[in-house]
Amino acid sequence: MSYGVQFINNNNVVTLDSEYARLMVISSGRYLPNQDGGMGSVTTFPVAVTSQEPPLVFVRPDTVNAIAGMCQVRIIGSAGNWTGFYMRAYNTSISNLNGRYFVAAFAAQAIAQYGVRMWGASGQLLFDSGTPSANFTRAFQNWSYVKNDLTDQGLTRIYYSVPFNFPQDEFLLLNTFGMNMTSGSGIPRNLYCWWDFPNNALYAITVAATNPTAFFLPAVFAKMTA
């Protein structure tokens, strides 16, 4: 940087710089099954996220001696006014929609009543002491093919997994699992996610009429630093 402010920690890592925004946590809380007879969950952010692009939503289902499954993810709102997110349970037998979340963006918001704020050279707010930062921790893309079967509608369903130890402080990026994937036909692959707590495995499941076995979608994790 040529001017401004820079903070470096004891490990010589830049933790704050007046020229670059970090991944800032706008709000956090809990989600719960409150829609569709307990099969859906709508979470409203305490503070709307004012970024132009959809914010990044990270979730961590409560640990249970079962599988927590989620699908049909969407971010609610529009550019400059993102107000919450929706997701649905996988099915009635895999329906744990209880857990924690945080929503983040690569920009701060004026939330703190007092403290410190820092702006970049173009006037964008880079830091507010009411918005702690988050760090990406790891990503999985080395999925292992497990099996395939047919749904009740005759669609091909394919299961992929990766070993995972489900630490309490790591949250999954939900946005990735809100996107349909290309398939071998005009019908896209629907995408589902399982947290298989008893077997220490994270699953991705795709469903489509023509469902290719290649699968490279990353599962991205992050944690709040404060």
Contact between residue 17 and residue 3 where contact means Cβ atoms under 8 Å apart: no
Separation CA 54–CA 192 (nearest Å): 20
Contacts of 209 (CB under 8 A, 6+ apart): 155, 156, 183, 185, 187
DSSP state letter for 193: E
115/107 Cα distance (integer angstroms):
17
Tokens standing for residue 214: 């290649």
In the chain, domain spans: 6-66+95-136, 137-224
Is the pLDDT confidence value at 101 over 90? yes
Tell me the C-alpha distance between 108 and 96, whole Å: 32
**What digits encode the pLDDT tens for the residues 149-168?**
999 999 999 999 999 999 99
- If you average pLDDT over residues 60-84, what whole number do you get? 95
pLDDT of residue 35: 93
Q: What is d(CA 23, CA 38) in angstroms, rounded to the nearest whole number?
A: 32
Using the predicted structure, report yes or no on whether residue 191 has a pLDDT greater than 70.
yes
**How far is the C-alpha of 33 from the C-alpha of 86, rounded, in Å?**
10
Q: pLDDT value at position 17?
A: 66
pLDDT reading at 185 higher than 60: yes
- pLDDT confidence of residue 180: 83
Whether the pLDDT of residue 1 is over 60: the answer is no
Q: Could you give the CA distance from residue 63 to residue 74 in angstroms, rounded to a whole number?
A: 23
Contact 125, 117 (CB under 8 A): yes
Q: Which pLDDT value is given to residue 226?
A: 61
Q: Are 164 and 54 in contact (CB under 8 A)?
A: no
